[in-house]
């Protein structure tokens, strides 16, 4: 029952996130210190700050995730693949890439699959690949197609949102549909607009296995130890 999740149990599902474009090295150091204090699963940062997070979180106890093709997804597949490769080389254990939404809306799923596969080819397992589908932009059939395409291309997770799109972030309906589509084979990351413990628990109840959030400390403080 998600209602009985403790602070520690929820923390172990969280990617503690700072993707503000004005974030500094000092900000990332503070993020990593807070991540250790809170006991989260990972931090998620911009590609140019990956090495700072990896320096401040050596080893594997807290993972480092970096984004690629962020936040629009309208980058070439080659650039996304290169960005992912550099992130992994500078210490990222995980990469969260944004799909090309124009291709998705046009129904060009083979092209979407090829770009995800290009990124996967540059960051083979054990590096974790999460595919951001920006679910608020897509209809239900498109969400299903995006998830199936990500799975076919070798992704490890499907992820709702960047948190930057004006259409909105994660919803329980989208998470439930994504979880139903990928089953237990892939993880589902809910991200974007999670502001309270109730929000977080609702996403887990809908099927999320990972949560991306920036208000981590305040959200965890709402839960029992």
| Successive 10-residue mean pLDDT values, the chain, 225 residues | 81 98 98 98 98 96 98 98 98 98 98 98 98 98 98 98 97 98 98 97 98 98 92
DSSP-derived 3-state class of residue 68: strand
For the chain, domains (ranges, CATH) are: 2-220 (3.20.20.70)
Residue 210, strand partner residues: 189
Supply the residues annotated as catalytic: 96, 159, 189
Q: pTM for the complete prediction?
A: 0.97
Please, what's the b/e burial string for 130-160 (b: 16 or more CB within 10 A of its CB; e: otherwise)?
bbbbbbbbbeeebbbbbbebbbebbbbbbbb
On whether the CB atoms of residues 84 and 75 are closer than 8 A, the answer is no
């Amino acid at each position: 029952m998600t209602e009985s999740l403790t602070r520690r149990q929820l923390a172990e599902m969280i990617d503690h996130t700072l993707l503000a474009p004005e974030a500094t090295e000092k900000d990332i150091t503070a993020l990593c210190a807070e991540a250790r204090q809170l006991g989260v699963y990972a931090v998620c940062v911009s590609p140019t700050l990956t090495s700072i997070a990896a320096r401040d979180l050596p080893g594997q106890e807290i993972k480092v995730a970096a984004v690629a093709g962020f936040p629009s997804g309208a980058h070439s597949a080659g650039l996304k693949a290169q960005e992912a490769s550099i992130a992994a080389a500078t210490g990222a254990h995980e990469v969260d890439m944004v799909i090309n939404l124009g291709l998705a809306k046009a129904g060009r799923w083979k092209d979407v699959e090829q770009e995800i596969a290009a990124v996967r080819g540059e960051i083979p397992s054990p590096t974790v690949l999460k595919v951001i589908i920006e679910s608020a932009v897509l209809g239900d059939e498109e969400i299903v197609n995006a998830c199936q395409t990500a799975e076919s291309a070798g992704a490890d997770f499907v992820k709702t949102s960047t948190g930057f799109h004006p259409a909105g972030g994660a919803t329980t309906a989208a998470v439930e549909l994504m979880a139903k589509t990928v089953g237990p084979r892939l993880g589902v990351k809910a991200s974007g607009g999670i502001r309270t413990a109730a929000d977080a628990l609702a996403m887990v109840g809908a099927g999320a296995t990972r949560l991306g959030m920036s208000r981590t400390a305040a959200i965890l403080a709402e839960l029992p130890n």
